[in-house]
Amino acid sequence: MQKIIKEKAFSEDEALKIFVMILLGVDFLHSKKIHHRDLKPENIFIEKLDNGMLIPIIGDFGISKMDLESIKRTLTSTSAFQTSPQYQAPEVINEKWPTAKVDIWASGIVLYEMLT
């Protein structure tokens, strides 16, 4: 989302439209039991179309897991969640098992960045 860097700040209306689309994308992932866990501007693209916008959420999904049990099986006691620190939810920082809420937290930080 290099557009955040270029634009410096979005209007509230623009930020709202983008934020709603991000949340719809996150909701879709969560409905499939996928947690992105590394949501940040670099993993969100804004493509303006003639009839609106397309906001794909990308990433390598390397730290995305299908459910808590698969996380417990794949992580060792020395493993850490490899998320970008400035977008980490408190439960990740406090070393608790992250849930889908980490994506909502990161979405809020992206919204904050768009508005400021």
**Which domains are assigned to the chain?**
2-59+66-73+80-115 (1.10.510.10)
Whether 67 is catalytic is no
* pLDDT at residue 83 in the model: 61
Tokens at 6, concatenated: 């270029």
List of residues 6+ apart from 62 with CB closer than 8 A: 82
Q: Given 27, 38, 67, 103, which residue is catalytic? A: 38
CA atoms of 80 and 83, how far apart (whole Å): 9
* pLDDT at residue 99 in the model: 73
The torsion angle over the Cα atoms of residues 31, 32, 33 and 37, rounded to 10 degrees, is: -90
Q: How far apart are the first and last CA of the chain?
A: 15
pLDDT along the chain (116 residues), means of 10: 65 91 92 84 83 80 59 49 69 68 90 89
